[in-house]
Chains A and B, each alone.
Chain A
Amino acid sequence: MAEITLNNVIKRYGKTEVVHGINLDIAHNEFVVLVGPSGCGKSTTLRMIAGLEDISDGAISIGSDVVNDLPPRKRNISMVFQNYALYPHMSVRENLGFGLKIAKHDDAVVTERVNEAAEILGLDELLERTPAELSGGQRQRVAMGRAIVRHPQAFLFDEPLSNLDAKLRVQMRTEIKKLHQKVKTTVVYVTHDQVEAMTLADRIVVMKDGYIEQVGTPMDVFNHPVNTFVASFIGSPPMNLLPAVIKGGQVVFVDGKSLPVPARLAACVTEGQEVIFGLRPDDLTPVGHGIAESGDSARMTLDVVLSEPLGTETILYTSIAGQEAQGKMFGPRNVTPGETLEFDIAMDKAHLFDAASGRSVRVD
């Protein structure tokens, strides 16, 4: 039940700086997901919020208190770990109640809260078992239960679903979202999986190499990536990124083929600017197989190298200007490799990034 504020937080291990002065305001009851490739500093950031790692510089506050020097036990937060981190020698009931017992709550309160959490998470039947007797999904639920019984100021999740199989992961993802709707609390959630980030977050924080690249709502980050990294990291399959040059109002690719500069971006580019043309596979569709008619569209004839049917859609591998590009076919029909198709390109959804800086040319 609290805001979390990171003010210019730096983490160094010896002389190596791994988190470079990040600033982040997390609102009361907000679900924020830190996402990025491994080694981007997202887990370190979370562990600094938890108090498991010291802060080298800057300040972290939870609620109204700066917690820099408080040990984890005084921060009133709870955390769910990737490997569940259950206490192996305790039953599920003891695992759930451990934090409350340590805080010297009455037995009656402990029992009540444990039962309450068990009910929310469907653990009633499992209370007397030990962690060794539980499946992965059940262990994860116990770990979440252990977090909610204490009614903390904030939940911290450190890649909680990455040890589960694909099906269970999707199921637990939904449960976490439901849980957040039931137990309104501030959540900071770390994952490397952009789908988890998109589906769970109120706001996504995309990190890379110890810097925050972009903060925004899932749709914002998806539709308006600020640079090529965010563009390629969020969305699956990833955005096609093709080097090109602006010449005479055209985006000219390395092989000489060209497309008009998207109308909404025309004012943001200069003649001769080297750019990267970004196009999501969803916006590169064979004619007649798009999602919706686009106002500003262009056409291109491309050879299909490979097709991957997914049922409702088929991923088509093709190449634009010698670069591999992926398109999508909605309402698919069979496509044979080597087939040549006419593609619609939704220019109003296309992105342009400056080739030198990688930043979006769009000026907000």
Chain B
Amino acid sequence: MANKRPPFWQREQYTPFLLLLPAVLTLLFVVLLPLLFSLYTSFTGYRLIRPESLWQWVGLRNYKRIFADGDFWVAFGRTIIFLTIALNLEFLLGLGIALLINKITWGQRTLRTIMMFPMMFSPILVGYQFKFVFNDNIGILNNALQALGLSDGAIPWLVDKYLANFSIIFAEVWMSTSVFAILLLAGLFAMPRDPLEAAKVDGCNPWQVFRHITLPFLMPFVFIAMTIRSLDVARAYDIVDVMTGGGPAGRTELLWTMIARVGYDNARMGQANAMAYVSILLSIAFTYYFFTKLLAARKYMGGAE
């Protein structure tokens, strides 16, 4: 009796596995299985309204369709342009705001709090708000322009091809500039004062101090913000869907509004999943790019390898 081996769950060599099991199971069911399932469906003609189509294996047909689909690539390209413009604008505005707030000595905390207000709203509500602002008939913007005599007609902010894209970017920038501003402000707070003074004594004018000392120091913070925001913008859906629904005539269609339409409105889930896998490549590419830049910038500053 005394020499009887304990049951396996009490043996020491199994303990680590036993303790890891809940986490592994959770990951398996919550992440891995859905991922594999969605990957599988991208090779089927799965339609939401015909569950039996889940077993209809079509091989690479969905992917072939995507690569032949002009609309998809237009949305893909538009997402990249949207991302580039939004990120750069947010960076420049955020940097400006951070530099200004860093300068003031009075009311800094209050301003920092106020600056975060846009982030406190749901993107859906921001979308509705700007939909109202930019509405061509009852919108506050057109009303204001007309009242000031700057325009006599109703400017079709959400209908015109360029203006609609502009309006969406405007809303996106309004909502998220503070992400940059806050991260860059944190960077400015962390910045040592001595190198700035050394540069002044070394002969730099204020612009040169900024260009050669402040900006390189801020770059790691910029790339962190860029990484976060590129993931955010690459999956932009809510604001666009509320403001224009991807319209008019698909002129503001981004990747995820298109994918959602194909998957839910048209019920072609197999096709939508294939699109989603292609567009995830975009996010991975941006993340990888900014992370490489981040590591390089941090290495300069004497940080981690």
Residues of A within 8 A of B (CB): 50-52, 71-73, 77-79, 81-89, 98-99, 102-103, 130-132, 146, 150, 156
Contacts and interface: CB of A to CB of B under 8 A. Distances in A.
30 contacts: A50-B197, A50-B201, A51-B201, A73-B200, A73-B201, A73-B202, A78-B202, A81-B194, A81-B197, A82-B194, A83-B192, A83-B194, A84-B194, A85-B195, A87-B195, A87-B198, A87-B199, A87-B212, A89-B216, A89-B217, A89-B301, A98-B199, A98-B212, A102-B203, A102-B204, A102-B212, A103-B203, A132-B301, A132-B302, A146-B198
The 10 closest A-B pairs by CB, nearest first: A132-B302, A85-B194, A99-B202, A85-B198, A89-B300, A89-B216, A73-B203, A72-B200, A79-B201, A102-B203
Given A86-B195, A88-B302, A89-B297, 10 more contacts: A73-B201, A79-B201, A83-B194, A84-B194, A85-B192, A85-B194, A85-B197, A88-B300, A102-B202, A102-B203
B204 A52 contact: no
B217 A88 contact: yes
Contact of B204 (A73, A146, A156): A73
A72 B201 contact: yes
B213 interface: yes
A71 B208 CA distance: 14
A51 B205 CA distance: 13
Contacts of B208: 102
Contacts of A73: 200-205
Contacts of A77: 201
B201 A78 contact: yes
B300 A130 contact: yes
B204 A81 contact: no
Interface of B: 192, 194-195, 197-205, 208, 212-213, 216-217, 297, 300-302
Nearest to A143: B198
Contacts of B216: 87, 89
Contacts of A102: 202-204, 208, 212
A109 to B, nearest CB: 14
A327 to B, nearest CB: 43
A30 B204 CA distance: 27
Contacts of A52: 197, 200-201
Contacts of A83: 192, 194
A78 B198 CA distance: 8
Contacts of A82: 194
Contacts of A84: 194
Contacts of A81: 194, 197-198
B305 to A, nearest CB: 11
Contact of B202 (A51, A89, A98): A98
A131 B192 CA distance: 14
A62 to B, nearest CB: 13
A100 to B, nearest CB: 9
Nearest to A131: B302
A84 B193 CA distance: 11
Contacts of A98: 199, 202, 212
Contacts of A72: 197, 200-201
A71 B200 contact: yes
Which of B200, B216, B297 counts the most chain A CB atoms within 10 A?
B200
A9 B224 CA distance: 46
Nearest to B205: A73
A235 B62 CA distance: 87
Nearest to A87: B195
Nearest to A91: B300
A243 B30 CA distance: 83
A150 to B, nearest CB: 7
B75 to A, nearest CB: 39
A324 B195 CA distance: 46
A86 B195 CA distance: 6
A103 B204 CA distance: 8
Contacts of B192: 83, 85
Contacts of A146: 198, 202
A77 B203 CA distance: 9
B197 A87 contact: no
A99 B302 contact: no
Nearest to A73: B203
Nearest to A133: B302
Contacts of B217: 88-89
